[in-house]
Amino acid sequence: MAALGVSGCLWRRAAAPLTVQCTAVLGSRARGPGAGWKKAARKISGVRQPCFTDEAVQSLLSQMTGLDLQKVFRPVKQELKPPTYKLMTEKQLEEATGKAIQKAKEILKMPPVLSERAPIDDVLAEDRILEGTETVRYVFTDLTYSTPHRERFIVVREPSGVLRKATWEERDRMIQVYFPREGRKVVPPALFKDENLMTALHEGRYEDILNLCIAQFEPDSASYIRIHHRTYEEIDKCAKYDLLRSTRHFGGMVWYLVNKKRTDGLLIDMIQRNLLNDATCLINLYHMLHPDCQSAKTAKEQEVYGVDLIKIFMKTESQKVGYIELALQAYQETQASSAAL
């Protein structure tokens, strides 16, 4: 399906008249990553709001995510086989490390952050003559192999004779039945129900849950968004940001927290781990997304960097001023002591 999709819709351009409409309307729907795809702009107070897919935003997020090869390629619980040993020269080792870094960058590619898709509830026809003939609904799916799944016609005939388009959940289910995708089940696992999700989150298996969610749901479905937001809230509550560092979910989490203006916990965590560069990236991202806030204006006027930037941000925007001050103090003391040594 992926290979066939290449010719069809990888770099899809919408028809000309539609693009005009798309950008005019609040195009918060259309944020799919694609070179040929027009990036929709949210116009707020006349200034163009940055999207998740902008290069500047992506570079900041990937800087913050980091690239720990040991974590990306850590051994997984699987069928054991005897280990292989390779003897390499320095040059070969460098080449192998380079390849590993390339592979890691592919793995760390961030999944798209989209807003919820509009529900489908269109009635195509009403044949009252069919009322009472059937007791069940019939779902008709177009099974042409080459059509992309988002262009597939799936309609439902109700027992009352109404012919309507299938809802998004019905569409996903039918497409999984006829074109099964690896890692996805026809019926979503019971893990994604609220009680089970809370149990799993309390155990701290955030990465597993998010990976399963990506495998199971479409990025613009309600369940996907709900599960991701729930996970990010839990991580913020328990301050376990490090579990997602060096995974593809870190960018999405930072984007969510910055949009909700709840960056304090993350900032404290970064300072405590001596990641000052990441802290400055975070504050820069905050200023990009909220250019009207106090600290953004101050930073623009004064052109500050490093610890001073964090101090300005802390005084104007954050709620946990005390904690950030303490963390900064501890960091500066360690810096001083290591410099003295």
Partner 1 sequence: MAASRGAVVLRRAAGSLPVLALFRRLFWAQAAPAASLLRLQRPLLRMFSTETEPDVSAEPVVFDAKSRFKEKPWKYLETEEYIERYGNKPVWFGYRRNHKGPIPPQKTRKTCIRGNKIAGNPCPICRDEKLLVDYRNVKLLEQFMSPHSGVILHPMDTGVCRKQHKRLVQAIDQARDHGLLSFPVPLVMLQDEDYTNQHQAVAKTPPAPTLKSQAPWYSWYEWQQPPEKEITKIRRMYKDYLKEETGPP
Sequence-distant (6+) residues with CB within 8 A of 273 are 242
Closest CB to partner 1 among residues 24, 80: 80
**Amino acid identity for residue 308 in this structure:** D
Q: What's the min distance (Å) between Cβ of 10 and partner 1?
A: 6
* Residue 242 CB neighbours (<10 A): 14
> Looking only at Cα atoms, what is the longest distance across the chain?
90
Q: What's the min distance (Å) between Cβ of 26 and partner 1?
A: 14
Q: What's the min distance (Å) between Cβ of 288 and partner 1?
A: 23
List of residues contacting partner 1 (CB under 8 A): 2, 5, 9-12, 14, 18, 22, 29-34, 37, 76-80, 106-107, 109, 111-112, 114, 117-118, 120, 122-129, 148, 150-154, 165, 171, 181-184, 189-191, 196-197, 199-200, 205, 208-209, 211-212, 214-215, 219-220
Closest CB to partner 1 among residues 42, 300: 42
CA distance 132 to 108: 54
Q: What's the min distance (Å) between Cβ of 222 and partner 1?
A: 14
143 exposure class (CB count in 10 Å sphere: 0-12, 13-18, 19+):
exposed
DSSP state of 109: P
Closest CB to partner 1 among residues 120, 239: 120
Query: In terms of Cα–Cα distance, which of 307, 309, 308, 306 is closest to 296?
Result: 309
Query: In terms of Cα–Cα distance, which of 123, 191, 189, 134 is closest to 159?
Result: 134
Q: What's the min distance (Å) between Cβ of 246 and partner 1?
A: 14
Closest CB to partner 1 among residues 56, 123: 123
Name residue, tokens 């997304």: 289
Closest CB to partner 1 among residues 94, 208: 208
